[in-house]
Structure 1
Amino acid sequence: MTCTAINHSTDFHTMTEPTPKRQQTTKPKKTWIINAFENAASGHQFPGQWKSPEDQSKNYKDLEYWTSLAQLLEKGKFHSVFIGDALTIYDDYRGSETESGHNLAPALTSGLNVPKNEPSAPVTAMAAVTKNLGFGLTFSTISEHPYHFARRLATLDHLTKGRIGWNIVSSYLNSTARQLLNGGPLPEHDERYIKTEEYVQIVYKLLLSSWRDDAVVYDLKREFFADPDLVREINHVGKYFNVPGPAINEPIPQGFPLVIQAGTSSKGKLFAAENAEVVFVGGRNLKILKKSIADIKYLAVEKFGRDPNHIKFLTQITPILGKTHEEAQEKFDDILKYVDLEGAQALFAGWTGIDLSEYEWDEELKYVKSNGMRSLVDNLTKNNPDLKVTRRSLAQDTAIGGSTTKEFIGTPQEVADTLEAWVEETGLDGFNFAYARWPGTFKDIVELLIPELQKRGVAQTEYSVNGGTFRENVYGLKGQTYLPKDHPFYKLRWSNGLSKDEFEQELKIFQKERDEKYERIIKELKEEGKL
């Protein structure tokens, strides 16, 4: 089926509620965390934009693409560049038309997140030309064995001097299961989180509990490079993995990379509350955003005893900026000329597992249970009953990445007003800025929007800790290199001064108490109807 093209911005459907007018407040403004959303691929989440002569994203194969971006973002005092990734091709859309049940054509012809490189490869080059920019990397817990992956994380954190964050995902693409899980099927949503929890705990143990902080001694007198009494096996035995350890790497600058998580299903919220330091919350419905943030903070504080200030919440938007409103609108109208609705529907099917080709163009979609990004489907349907969602509206919205609305099209002053209103209404701590055109969108953000945000006191003018770690600059606190002491897994760190026997005794007590507490929390949440 060929979908109708979008010819003018008035045809564009935005699935959002009006932004409330920003209230004047006397409270001191917080400094936002500002990230750039990149993609490991030649295409991006604006399918079809590769056709524009202004878009240079096809140069992703060149190292200069990445180093020039890193320098631009550090010039704009961005906290980090977040590199999204999906391990395989989005091929669920129109799958019924093929004998195999999956269809590669819509993603390939529209340039939707394919082809792509491995996301961590350019990071060391980006780090070499910057001093403060952090790097948030998406790695799935089904992509490789946790023992091997822990070394990958450690290497990156060493070579960047502690500027790595791990965006923990469990993967949602059926095509990923076919490639990596002996043909699939993709495990059920909640079971994926169970496996993810075990995977992450193994990586915690390998990076925090294998080598004492001072295990590498360079002791010429004893002729010890590393002290064998300060290295131990983790001996993990679980449902999915048996990993004896120890890790093959020495302790890393941050102890453990900054923990990032996305996903606000009930399982996702629970995982974020126990683990995450930065949470990406999705959607343009401010009530849902506010509730997601409140739910995770409640769980973090009341169930896990965490400081609510130690979890930062960001959402993704794509601003279209101009020196005048008319100039910004012209840019957006030009973007609409190149959208690819087939690619957009392939993207939506990849996110959710829902094949929109099974619906009529203006047929309203009611709640459909998804084994993909469940929170996305819930927020579009079950949690937002007043919103009419059709195949047309979903395709048009997804065609521009699902993160642009008319309120983010305008002058720096207009866009900044909306951003401030969102922060005041929801409690957000910052934003992931995505791009419609590479590198034009990022240049506009750095040259137009960031100065306006700095003038308002919500964007940093200098890095909090010059030459610091990713965690130090996110918290804005020199010396906050390691997981905060209130983090539920801080006690896995083998600190100086503890013998192997003493540490192992502490670990036994910690693990027993953590497991009992977690089981109690699960029981309480089920009784409360929250899980």
Structure 2
Amino acid sequence: MMKEIRINAFDMNCVGHIQQGLWTHPRDQSTRYTQLDYWTDYARRLEAGLFDGIFLADVLGVYDVLGGSPDPAVRHAVQVPVNDPTLLIPAMATVTRHLGFGVTANLTYEQPFTFARRMSTLDHLTGGRIGWNIVTGYLDSAARAAGFAGQMAHDDRYDMADEYMALVRALWEGSWEDGAVVADRRTGTYADPAKVHVVHHKGKQYTVDAMHLCEPSSQRTPVLYQAGASARGTRFAATHAECVFLNGQAQPAVKQQVDSLRSEAEAQGRSRDAIRVFLGATIVTGRTDAEARDKFEDYKRHASSDGALVHAAASLGIDFSKYDIDEPIVTASQAIVSNVEAMTRAAGPQWTRRKLLDQFVLGSRQKPWIGSGATIAQMLVDWSEQCGVDGYNLSRTVVPECVDDFIAHVVPELQSRGAYKTRYSEGTLREKLFGRPG
């Protein structure tokens, strides 16, 4: 029996997310991101297409690595301006019943006690459909905005995150017992104080003595997402994450990452299938391969290599303006280490700005998959079977037509192969993803 492939939309509460420049396409509507009906319409489309969820990325700083200035990011709308993603979720939940919501929140700048309450609130309001993408940040501009001189070292951020996770889990799981809420109108007792406990935590980074302010939500702990693919990030993901996102590369590299992640999960006392792995993908599709290629050529005319370079400089932590076009680039960085490693695999150990620009096919480092619905469906199935990935995060190109095209052309082909649901199952996001509550 073929494994069911999971599909998330991958987006951000901004104009330019991954594929830089495509907001200039005449059919693109992403400049409407400040309008609530843009997001509620988006959610309805995704649920009609039986998407598992929408994953909302976020960033707290501005991309100012290239040339040491934020001006190029502002000029090209490279993830700035960007609004808070959490405020979109209740509205999208109101117009859907099944769509899951993964939201990015940077724990480095979130006080754990108040953050735990926010996630519980979202889990209540969505009926148990919330997930949290755990990030520790990688931008010095975000650290400065929060009052710090700069970001912590890469591995130190993960050490802090381990403690953070222990604390918020204690609040979600250990403060209110099952059955604490009785809502007894006759006695006037809403909750039994004997079943509500103060969490005592004293660690290197945090000291908390408090009960969780929220009664238990459907999931208690949100579904935990993580995107770290460095050695330290893999260990963190194998310890904490239920869903892990990987960037698309060559199949052998992806398979190696998936195998390493599952082996590390076993080393942490978890089963190999305790984690769902999602691969990032950009898809351009149509009724035929030729139609898809024509659409890609149309999109490509609007892609921005300048915007892509701004984004790459920040996520790789390297100011490319300091290098001539063919000068070897020094890759030591405290930004997203796995991005540096992936680029080295793609462009070779001595990569240059020219080699980097060659990767920017559609305004990002992520090369698009182009083809008819049948072609794309078979690619998704092949990658799933050969690399062991469970699903895909589809970054937008021209919205909303990229979503409509996938639903019209790819979904039926996946369904005909027995690789995609024909209806939603009931339950929380965790139950839908794993077939079990926890």
TM-score by length of structure 1 reads: 0.80
Alignment of 1:294-333 (within 5 A): 294-301=259-266, 303-333=267-297
Q: Tell me how far 1:417 sits from its aligned partner.
A: 2.0
| Residue 43 of structure 2, aligned match among 65, 70, 81 | 70
Distance across 1 between alignment mates of 2:81 and 2:301? 23
Alignment of 1:96-495 (within 5 A): 103-180=69-146, 182-220=147-185, 222-301=187-266, 303-365=267-329, 368-381=331-344, 383=345, 386=348, 389-398=351-360, 400-405=363-368, 408-465=369-426, 468-475=427-434, 477=435, 480-481=436-437, 483=438
Q: Tell me how far 1:43 sits from its aligned partner.
A: 2.1
Q: Tell me how far 1:238 sits from its aligned partner.
A: 0.8
Distance across 1 between alignment mates of 2:312 and 2:5? 29
Q: Secondary structure at the match of 1:122?
A: helix
* 1:400 aligned partner, one-letter code: G
Structure 2 vs 1, CA of residues 344 and 396 (structure 1 numbering), >3 Å: closer, same or farther?
farther
Contact 2:248 2:254 in 1 (8 A): yes
Question: How many pairs align?
Answer: 437
Structure 2 vs 1, CA of residues 113 and 385 (structure 1 numbering), >3 Å: closer, same or farther?
closer
Q: Secondary structure at the match of 1:402?
A: coil
Structure 2 vs 1, CA of residues 89 and 336 (structure 1 numbering), >3 Å: closer, same or farther?
same
TM-score by length of structure 2 reads: 0.96
Contact 1:42 1:111 in 2 (8 A): yes
Partner of 2:19: 46
Please tell me whether residue 29 in structure 1 is matched to residue 29 in structure 2.
no
Distance across 2 between alignment mates of 1:265 and 1:58? 34
Contact 1:273 1:297 in 2 (8 A): yes
Distance across 2 between alignment mates of 1:449 and 1:277? 26
Distance across 1 between alignment mates of 2:279 and 2:343? 16
Larger radius of gyration: 1
Distance across 2 between alignment mates of 1:447 and 1:145? 43
Q: Secondary structure at the match of 1:349?
A: helix
Partner of 1:17: none
Contact 2:374 2:409 in 1 (8 A): no
* 2:244 aligned partner, one-letter code: V
Q: Secondary structure at the match of 1:345?
A: helix
Post-superposition Cα deviations, 1:300-334, rounded to whole Å, max 9, x if no partner, equal 11x22212122111111111112122221121112
Instruction: Specify every segment of 5 or more residues in structure 1 that has no aligned partner in the other structure, as ranges.
Output: 1-27, 96-102, 484-531
Q: CA-atom RMSD, angstroms? A: 1.6
Contact 2:249 2:346 in 1 (8 A): no
Post-superposition Cα deviations, 1:103-141, rounded to whole Å, max 9, x if no partner, equal 111111111111121001111111111110000101111
Q: Secondary structure at the match of 1:139?
A: strand
* 1:320 aligned partner, one-letter code: V
Partner of 1:100: none
* 1:140 aligned partner, one-letter code: N
Q: Secondary structure at the match of 2:10?
A: strand
Distance across 2 between alignment mates of 1:350 and 1:213? 45
Q: Secondary structure at the match of 1:55?
A: coil
Higher strand share: 2
Contact 2:347 2:356 in 1 (8 A): no
Distance across 2 between alignment mates of 1:454 and 1:339? 32
Q: Tell me how far 1:393 sits from its aligned partner.
A: 3.2
Structure 2 vs 1, CA of residues 387 and 461 (structure 1 numbering), >3 Å: closer, same or farther?
farther
* 2:180 aligned partner, one-letter code: A
Distance across 2 between alignment mates of 1:421 and 1:239? 46
Structure 2 vs 1, CA of residues 457 and 389 (structure 1 numbering), >3 Å: closer, same or farther?
farther
Post-superposition Cα deviations, 1:440-483, rounded to whole Å, max 9, x if no partner, equal 11111111111111111111111122xx21001111x2xx22x3
Partner of 1:498: none
Q: Tell me how far 1:348 sits from its aligned partner.
A: 0.6
Q: Tell me how far 1:401 sits from its aligned partner.
A: 2.9
Bigger shift: 237-246 or 221-230? 221-230
Contact 1:49 1:338 in 2 (8 A): yes
Bigger shift: 278-287 or 155-164? 278-287
Q: Tell me how far 1:385 sits from its aligned partner.
A: 7.7
Q: Secondary structure at the match of 1:91?
A: coil
* 2:381 aligned partner, one-letter code: E
Q: Secondary structure at the match of 2:389?
A: coil
Distance across 2 between alignment mates of 1:89 and 1:166? 22
Distance across 1 between alignment mates of 2:276 and 2:189? 42
Distance across 1 between alignment mates of 2:222 and 2:34? 26
Bigger shift: 74-83 or 341-350? 341-350
| Residue 34 of structure 2, aligned match among 61, 68, 79 | 61
Structure 2 vs 1, CA of residues 31 and 157 (structure 1 numbering), >3 Å: closer, same or farther?
same
Distance across 2 between alignment mates of 1:390 and 1:422? 29
Percent identity at matched positions? 38
Distance across 2 between alignment mates of 1:357 and 1:385? 18
Distance across 1 between alignment mates of 2:186 and 2:28? 60
